Structure 1
Amino acid sequence: MTSSAPHLPSVDIIIPHFKRRDMLERCLDSLAETLYPEMGIIVVDNGGKQAGLVFMVKRYRNARLVRLEENRGYAGGCNEGLKHSDADYVVFMNDDTRHDPLWLDRLVSAALEDERTGALQPKILSLKAFEKGKQVFDYAGAAGGMIDRLGYPWALGRTFSAIEMDQGQYDNGREIFWASGVAMFVNRSLAEGLGGFDGDFFMQMEEIDLSWRMKLAGYSIRSVPSSIVLHEGGASLPGGSADKIRFNHRNNISMLMKNLGGARLLWVLPIRFLLEFAAALFYLTQFPGSLKKSGAVWRAISENIRQIPPIIKKRRAVQKMRRIRDSVIFRDSPLTLLFRY
């Protein structure tokens, strides 16, 4: 007698990890409660070389450890994990997360509804607020990533400075622009075909860049609010740190230069460089650390200028595989949310 049970796609959870072993252990404990049966876990030790880490990871079902000699950041760590996966889907995940037991079942079900699915994002709530009995969206992705026409990212449930309570206002899944790297569910073969994350980003906005390339190739990015992940936030870089400011400003401009079509880039890029200069001046008013914060923006601008030749090379590859026009991608995007909040 043959079984009539449907084939379940395999999913690997890829977790880049750096130093905070206690945080990783909490994440793995939570994943152990996930009910989806065809799940593997790939932990990428990002140059931490922690003693005993391999034995800790082996305690968990279908979990394995990949070691890197140096810290390649979130982007490089995820790319290494991707090389070691042959699953149907992968989830790029932060190690400061906790998970509803059915979070992965619901993502897989949503992916199977549409063969053009590039990436999916669960509803991401604040772990710290949840532990206090509150349902508050997490800053890093919230209910789904969006972007305005000047290239500034925001999210449903979160803008530049405001974070909303979760009252079910985004509980209908919808097309979004980008899926958060907190828990980014992607088609593995598509991610590989697009080259994975841009390793030069190191961290910050790499998931937006990959989502954008998926959209250009004609794939969809959607939210799945019935899947819930809790995120602590600020584990890698605290909000407002000079390094985080540098990565955000540098990678955002690099992303625009790679992915925008030529006509749109001609008018967006000059405006954005003017706004970058304005941001550098604004940070001079932000105490403490005003000089470091302002200097981080100037450093980002300088790095963008020095990296123009390799960015142009990447741009040619991205534009060559483009299938969708900017007018379609930005059809529902506002001009900018920068001055509204």
Structure 2
Amino acid sequence: MSKIAVVILNWNGEELLEQFLPSVQNFSKGAAIYVADNASTDNSIAFIKKNYPAIKIIENASNGGYAKGYNDALQHVEADIFCLLNSDVEVTENWLTPILNHFDEHPEVAIIQPKILDYKRKEYFEYAGAAGGFIDQLGYPFCRGRIFQALEKDKGQYDDVKEIFWATGACLFIKSSVFKELKGFDEDYFAHQEEVDLCWRAHNHGYKIFYVGT
């Protein structure tokens, strides 16, 4: 089984950490958990140190946004697989196992995303990523489970494993070797679309990207 690190990017998100870290800690057995802090000015770091001493903290020198924040932080993480997880995502029991199994069984796969449901309306897909991303002939990104602002109800229609074009940055698993080969995210993207660009470049290097919704 590959060695995995779950890395949560944080900026002044103490309340989100308080709400969502419990599920990550409880259901991520075998994974190293990191919080990469983008120069927060609230009590995020003190909160983690007091309540989650097993979680490792990486303190970035500045708030460089999503792309630079992860590029800087992941230089300090040793793992086979990086899981980039938004601080407002609740994970469920056994969430890592299908992902890691797919990586181990399919060496050509470099990036994976799971099914992502709306936190407040769990019967619907989440806007950010849903059930795997694609891109149309005009270069417009879209997802299974979401077209523009319309979100589908989860009726099991995407309980599958499927090759996709891009994986959402809200919960993105990537082989560390591939992340380094691609030189990480393009920091011209401060926030949004950086994961589409990363996946596009991964495709150009011959790698496969999958959605694992089982």
* TM-score (norm. length: structure 2): 0.95
Moved more, 16-25 or 56-65: 56-65
Which one-letter code corresponds to 2:85 in the other structure?
Answer: M
- Per-residue deviation, 1:16: 1.1
| From 65, 69, 82, the counterpart of 1:90 | 82
C-alpha displacement at 1:15, in angstroms?
A: 1.2
Shift of 1:43: 1.0
1:82/1:192 contact within 8 Å kept: no
1:9 aligns to 2:5 (yes or no): no
Match of 2:135 among 138, 141, 147: 147
Match of residue 159 from structure 2: 171
> Which residue matches 1:198?
186
- Structure 1 residue corresponding to 2:168, chosen from 155, 175, 180: 180
Query: Counterparts in 2 of 1:241-252, with a 5 A limit?
Result: none
Asked whether 1:81 is paired with 2:73, we answer: yes
Alignment check: 8 A CA contact 2:12 2:43 kept: no
Structure ranking higher in helix proportion? 1
Assess, with a 3 A threshold, how the Cα gap between structure 1 residues 91 and 58 changes in structure 2: closer, same or farther: farther
Counterpart residue number, 1:302? none
- Do the aligned partners of 1:16 and 1:44 also contact (CA within 8 Å) in 2? yes
Q: Greater share of strand residues, 1 or 2?
A: 2
- In the alignment, is the contact (CA less than 8 A) between 2:34 and 2:57 conserved in 1? yes
C-alpha contact 1:120 1:184 (8 A) present in aligned 2: yes
TM-superposed CA distance for 1:128, in Å, is 0.8
CA separation in 1, counterparts of 2:182 and 2:49? 29
Q: Distance in 2 between matches of 1:88 and 1:186?
A: 9
Distance 1:61 1:106 in 2: 28
Question: 1:68 maps to what in 2?
Answer: 60
- How many residue pairs get aligned? The number is 214
Partners of 1:205 and 1:154 lie apart in 2 by: 11
Pairing partner for 1:24 from 17, 35, 46: 17
Which stretch has the larger CA shift, 211-220 or 17-26? 17-26
- TM-score w.r.t. length of structure 1: 0.60
Q: Distance in 2 between matches of 1:162 and 1:51?
A: 37
Query: Cα RMSD (Å) of the superposition?
Result: 1.5
Partner of 2:94: 102
Query: Higher Cα Rg: structure 1 or 2?
Result: 1
Identity of aligned residues (%): 38
Alpha-carbon separation, structure 1, partners of 2:53 and 2:11? 21
Q: What is the distance in 1 between the residues matched to 2:180 and 2:53?
A: 25
Which one is further off, 204-213 or 74-83?
74-83
